[in-house]
Structure formats: C-alpha cells, structure tokens
Amino acid sequence: MVTSLLLLAILGSTAGIRTEKVGVLLMHGFWQAFDTQHHLDFKDFVEGKTGVKVHLIDAFNDLAAPPTESSLTPMWIQVPAILEQVKNISAQYEKIIAVGFSQGGVIWRAMIESWDNHNVDTFISLASPQHGISDIPVKYLEPLPKHSIPSTLSYSYKLGISSGIKEVLKSLFYLPRVQNVFAPSNYFLEPKLRHLYLQTAFFPRLNNEVGSAEEKQRQKNNFQSLRKLLLIGGPDDGTVIPWQSQIFGFRTADKKIVPMEETQFYKDDLFGLKTLDEKGAITTCIKGGLRHSDFPNSSEVLNDCVLPAIQDVISN
C-alpha cells in the first residue's frame, strides 16, 4: 500500500501526469533570487489562503557577471532556458497562473509569447516594466564591474547631468557591449532613441515591432490566448520609470504620459493587447504608497489583487 502510494507520487511528479488542476509559477526580478523573503511570503500567503501550490522558479538568481548565470544574463538567454524548466513544472497541471515580479514579468510575457499551446490561464504581472523603462535607476547600475560602461553611466547620472548629455548617455544602453551583460538594458526604451531600440535583439521582437510575419502571428496567438491578464502597479514604485509601464502605459518623446489605449502597442494590436482588452480579459490593480520591492508581499496587493485573481481561476 505504502509502496504503491509512493509509486503514484513519483509517477505523478515526474511522468507529466496532470495531477492537479491549478499551479502558480512565480519568476523573480532583477538583482533577486527565487527565495528572496518577499517571494517566500507570497508563496506562504497564496498556499495558506487557497491551497494552490506556488513554485518559485529557481533560475538566473542574484548578480554575477556573464558567462555565469544570473539576473544580469541577457533576456534572449534567460527566456528559453527558464521556459524549459517552466514547461516541466506546468506539465503536472491542467492550467497554470504565471506570476512575474518586475523583470520576471517581462520574462513571463516572453515565455508566453514563444510557448505554443501553453496552459497559462492567467498572467499576473506584478510591478513589471511591460512597456519598458525610459530610465534605469542608478542603484541598478552600481553593482556592475568598475570601469564598465554602466558604472560610468551611474557616475554621470549622479552628477545631475543635463538632459542633452543624458540622452547621449542613454544611447550607450543600446550598445551590444551593454546589451550583452546587463539584462535591464534589454527592455530599455527611450522614445527619442527609437532607431537604436529597433536594432536590439530582444524587446522590439517581443513587442512584434520587428520579425517575420509568421513569427509575429505566432507570438500574438500565444499571448492573446490568455484568459486573464492582471496588471499590478502603483505610482510610488520608484524603480519602474515611468511607473505607468506596469499597466502598459508609457511616455512619448516629448515626455507626455499616455495610457495603454493610446500606445502603439495597443492601437496596432501588435501582440494581442487590444484583442485581450476587447474580450474583457485585462484587469488593472493600482496601489499607492508602495515601493517597488513592497509589491510581492504587500497585504493590500495580496488580498485585493492577487487573491481574487487566483480564486477566479480555481472557480473557472
């Protein structure tokens, strides 16, 4: 009896049998690990309140210069590697809830777009720069090797430079030497430097601004097959600039903030955002008074935003 139960447990976890209906998979952010305290708190909360298992994805943790794997590793290397691990975990569930915090939310969008016939029911984007970042917080540049381009940038940023010089410095984020060693530069988007952005390998492809017609259609089909997309963010985040990027808004070259509905991503329905919105799939949950790293374990976020979304999946 014990032996057959044990056998069942082993088979259930390794043979890809869908033993459970719903599972949650959380991808951590930049300069963090899967077991950072606020992620452990998220897991305890969700498992305690709903009984749904939460997997904290153990990949590309912390900071280490490439070629060592870390959250600095370029997105085009992280995404396919993490997807292998995610597919493995997801195979035991009928449907999954994808949760991505910060950079992890951009990684999750990329995994969903590239994963044919995925079983992601709901995608919870938690304080993620979904429309990119137009400035990189200085603290993010600090841990980089001394004398590297990003650390020089950090120094210049601190001197309170004029906007003209800042633009020149910003163009350096698009250099292959920076793109290849500093993941946040992969989703850096300064509207005034659009021509440089379009030459980079990751974000314009993810956003279906470049790529073959066939590849674009495939990414769009995968993304718009989500049943629900929950965008969580807030004006006091302080790290995602502009904060509206968390809810797919952004700013124009003349520094005007535009809501999701007025962005090109949405108006041209580049990767299915408009389609999702028109079928009522998109919900936003905006919370003030929270700093960036507060989002994963804020009781307000957990109770008012995350819990209803998970209960909705369970009851569906």
Ligand X SMILES: *[C@@H]1O[C@H](CO)[C@@H](O)[C@H](O)[C@H]1NC(C)=O
Q: Which residues bind ligand X (CB under 6 A)?
A: 14, 36-38, 41, 84-85, 88, 297, 299
Q: Tokens 């009522």: give the residue.
A: 280
CB 309 within 8 A of CB 98: no
Q: Least distance (Å) from ligand X to the CB of residue 301?
A: 10
* Beta carbon nearer to ligand X, 40 or 196: 40
Which distant-in-sequence residues (6+ apart) come within 8 Å of 105 by Cβ? 27, 125, 126, 127, 128, 129, 130
Please, which residue, 29 or 150, has the CB nearer to ligand X?
Answer: 29
40 versus 210: smaller Cβ distance to ligand X = 40
Q: Which is nearer to ligand X, 37 or 303 (CB)?
A: 37
Q: How far is the CB of 116 from ligand X (least distance, A)?
A: 18
Q: Of the two residues 126 and 226, which places its CB atom closer to ligand X in the complex?
A: 126
Q: Closest approach of Cβ 285 to ligand X, in Å? A: 17
Q: Is 147 exposed, middle or buried (0-12, 13-18, 19+ CB in 10 A)?
A: exposed
- How many angstroms separate the CA atoms of 183 and 173, rounded? 10
User: Minimum distance between the CB of residue 104 and ligand X, rounded to whole angstroms?
Assistant: 15
Longest dimension (CA), the chain: 74
CB of 226 to ligand X, least distance (A): 24
| Cβ-based nearer residue to ligand X, 101 or 265 | 101
Report, in Å, the least distance between residue 17 CB and ligand X: 12
Q: Which is nearer to ligand X, 18 or 192 (CB)?
A: 18
Rounded CA-CA distance 144/183 in Å is 12
Residue 14 or 316 with smaller CB distance to ligand X: 14
